[in-house]
Chains A and B, each alone.
Chain A
Amino acid sequence: MIWAALVILIVVLAVAVPVAAGLGILGLGLSELFSKLPLSLAMGEMAWGTSNNFLLVAIPFFVLLGEILLRSGMAERMYNALVLWMPWLPGGLMHSNIAACAMFAATSGSSVATAATIGTVAMDEIEKHGYSERLFLGTIAAGGTLGILIPPSINMIVYGVLTDTSIPKLYLAGIIPGLLLAGLFSLTVLIFCLARPALGGRRVATSWDARIRALPDLLPPLVIFLAVIGSIYAGWATATESAALGVIAALGVAAWRGRLTPRMLLQAFEGTMRTTAMIMAILIAAYFLNFVITSIGLTGQINRYITSLGLTPVELLVVVVIFYFILGMFMETLSMMVATVPIIAPIMFKAGYDPIWFGILVVILMELAMITPPVGINLYVVQGLRQRGKIDDVIIGSAPFVVTMLVMIAILSLWPGIALWLARAVSN
Chain B
Amino acid sequence: MKIALASGKGGTGKTTMAVALARAARSPVRLLDCDVEGPNCHLFIKPVLERSEIVTVSVPVVDKNLCKPCGKCAEICRFNAIASIKLAPLFFPELCHACGGCIQVCPENAIGEIQRDVGLLECGSSDGLEFIQGRLMIGEAMATPVIKAVKRYQSDELLTLIDCPPGTACPFAAAVRGCDYVLLVTEPTPFGLHDLKLAVATLRRMGIAAGVIVNRCVDRDNMIAAYCREENIPLHLQVPEQRRIAEASSRGRMLLEVAPEFGSKLREVLQMVTERISGGQR
Verify that A and B bind, or say they do not: no
